[in-house]
Structure 1
Amino acid sequence: MSDIAITLNSQSSFVIPKLHNDRSNWADYEPRAKNAMGAKGLMKHAEGHARQPAPLILLNDVLMSQDDPTKPAMEEQLDSAEKKIDDYERNEAHTKHIILSTTSPRLSSKIKNLTTAKAMWDDVLVDVSNKSTLQQIDILDQLQEMHCGENSDANAHLLEVTKHFQLMEEWCDQLATMGAPVPKASFLVLVMKSMPASYRLMVQTIDTNSILAN
C-alpha cells in the first residue's frame, strides 16, 4: 500500500503512510495523520471539536436574521451564513476523505458509511486498540530477541545501530498504543541485551556508574 500525499499548497505537502491492515505501523501513521490534518485545520473535525454553524431560521419561506430574528436576513448575512456552512461541510468531507484514503481497505470499508469524521476517527482508534493479546506477545517476543550484529566498517555499523534502535523504539511505541507499554527500565535492559559482545565492557561501565550515582 503506497503512502498518501496531502497537499497544503503549491510548495508543501504532508505524506501519510497507509495504515496497514494489521495496524503494525500505527506508531508512524498516527502522528503523521494528525500533523497533516492539523496543518489543514481539520483535526478538530476528527476529534469532534469543530463547531457546526447554525442555519438561519426559515419563517414563512423567509430566512430571518440571526441578529434580529424578527427581520429578514440581509444579502450579506445570507452569503456569510452560506459560506460558513459550506466551509464546515467542505472541511468535514475533506477530513473523512483523508481518514478513508489512508486506512486499510478492511478498515475503510468498515467506517465508510459513518456520517461524521469524528465517528470515523473514533472507530480507527478503537480498531487499533483492539489488537489481540497474542499480537502483543508476538511483538514483545520480537523485541526481546533483537540483536545488533558486529561490523568492522565503522560507518556501516553506525547505520546498523541507528536502524536497530529505531526499530526497537517503533515496537515499543506499538505496544504502548495497544495498552501494553514497556517500562523504561525494562526497555533499557532490552537495549543492553541486544548490543554486540564488543559493547559489554561499555555497558558494564554505564551500569556501574548508574549504580554509584544512585
Structure 2
Amino acid sequence: MGPEPDSNVSSSSLKITKLPKLKDDGSNWGTYKDLAMNAIVAKGLRRHVTGTVRVPPTLEERDGEFFLPNRLAPLSEDELEAHEDKLDEYLQKQAQVRQIIYETVSEATFMRIKTQPNAQLMIIALTNIFENKGEMVQMDTLTRLQTMPCLADDDVVKHITEMQRLKEALAAMGAPITDHAFSTYIKASLPDDFRPLLSTISSTSRMTGRTLTSDALIDPVLGQG
C-alpha cells in the first residue's frame, strides 16, 4: 500500500528484506517494530528516524541567483550543485524509510500517517497508534490463555488446540511464554476428571528426574480425552 516509489530512488535501494505486514489490531506490533527498525538501520537510515540527520537548508532565490539563509554572497555553481546533491540524498533516504513503512501497513494505517512531514514524525505517529493497542491485545490473549476452562463435556482436543494457538499468537506478538507456564495453564484448565492422570504424570516426572514438558503432558491428556 502507499504511493509509487520516488523515481529518483533506485529499485535496488528500495528492496526490502521480507517484513511482516503490520496487523490493524496491533497484535504483531512488537515483532513488526523490531524487524522494521532493523531494516531501517541496515540501510543506513537510522538518523532519519531518530531526528539527528541534518536537513539541508532551504535556499533563497534573488534575481536568478541562490543564497543560503543569512549569507550575503550567492552560491557558486559548484556550491549550488553540492547543495542540490545533499538535498537529493536527504529526500531519497526519507523516501526509503517511508517506503519500508508504506509497503508493510494496511491502507487504513497508511491514510493515518501519510501526511506526516518527515520520516521521524511518521514513525512517532505509527508508534502512538499501535504501542498501547499491541500491549492490550497481548494482555487479552494472555488472560484468555490463563483462564480458559475445559468443561467436562467439552472436546479436549479442540481445547488444547486452541490453547496452543493462543501460545503461538503470543510468541508472534513478541511476548512468548515459557513451556513451564504453558503446562501450568493446561493443568489448571482441565476438569476434575483429569486430576488422577495429572497426579500420575507429575509423580512419574519427579521419579524419573525429567522435566515435565507441555508435549509430555498433552499426549496422555489427549489419550484420556
State the distance in 2 between where 1:46 and 1:59 align: 34
8 Å CA contact 2:40, 2:97 repeated in 1: yes
The one-letter code matched in structure 2 to 1:23 is G
- Give the whole-Å Cα distance in 2 for the aligned partners of 1:132 and 1:80: 44
The residue aligned with 1:129 is 131
Query: Using a 3 Å threshold, how does the CA distance of structure 1 residues 165 and 138 change in structure 2: closer, same or farther?
Result: closer
For residues 65 and 35 of structure 2, the distance between their equivalents in structure 1, rounded to whole angstroms, comes to 46
Please state how far the C-alpha of 1:21 moved relative to its aligned partner: 1.1
1:193 aligns with 184
Give the C-alpha shift of residue 41 in structure 1. Answer: 1.9
Aligned equivalents of 2:96, 2:134: Cα separation in 1: 32
What are the Cα deviations for residues 37-74 of structure 1, in whole angstroms up to 9, with x where unaligned?
111122322232222012445455422479x9443322
Residue 28 (str. 1) matches residue 31 (str. 2): yes
Asked if 1:86 is matched to 2:77, the reply is no
Ranges in structure 1 where 5+ consecutive residues have no aligned partner: 2-6, 147-162, 176-181, 205-214
Partner residue of 1:107 out of 109, 129, 133:
109
Q: Structure 2 length as normaliser, TM-score?
A: 0.59
Highest RCO, 1 vs 2 (Cα 8 Å, sep ≥ 6): 2
RMSD in angstroms over aligned alpha carbons?
A: 3.9
Deviations 1:82-131 (A, max 9, x none): 00011111111221222122112221111122222222211111111232
Letter in 1 for 2:184: K
Q: Is the 8 A contact 2:56 2:86 kept in 1?
A: yes
CA contact (8 A) 1:23 1:128 kept: yes
Greater CA radius of gyration, 1 or 2? 2
Correspondence list, 1:1-214, <5 A: 9=12, 14-64=17-67, 69-131=71-133, 135-144=137-146, 168-171=170-173, 173-174=174-175, 190-193=181-184, 200-201=205-206, 202-203=210-211
Change in 2 beyond 3 A, CA 1:135/1:119: same
The alpha-carbon distance between structure 1 residues 57 and 22, as it changes in their structure 2 partners (threshold 3 A), is: same
Q: CA 1:58–1:49 in 2, change beyond 3 Å: closer, same or farther? A: same
Q: How many residues align?
A: 170
Q: Is the CA contact (8 Å cut-off) linking 2:142 and 2:170 kept in structure 1?
A: no
CA contact (8 A) 2:26 2:134 kept: no
Q: Is the 8 A contact 1:192 1:203 kept in 2?
A: no
Is the Cα–Cα contact under 8 Å of residues 56 and 65 in structure 1 kept in the other structure? yes
Counterpart of 1:36, as a letter, is: A
Structure 1 CA distance, aligned partners of 2:135 and 2:82?
Answer: 52
Aligned with 1:102: secondary structure?
Answer: coil
TM-superposed CA distance for 1:81, in Å, is 0.4
Q: Residue type matched to 2:103 in 1?
A: S
Aligned partners of 2:119, 2:81: CA distance in 1, in Å? Answer: 26
- TM-score with structure 1 setting the length: 0.61
Question: What is the rounded CA distance, in whole Å, between the counterparts of 2:137 and 2:47 in structure 1?
Answer: 31
Shift in alpha-carbon separation, 1:105–1:144, aligned structure 2, 3 A:
same
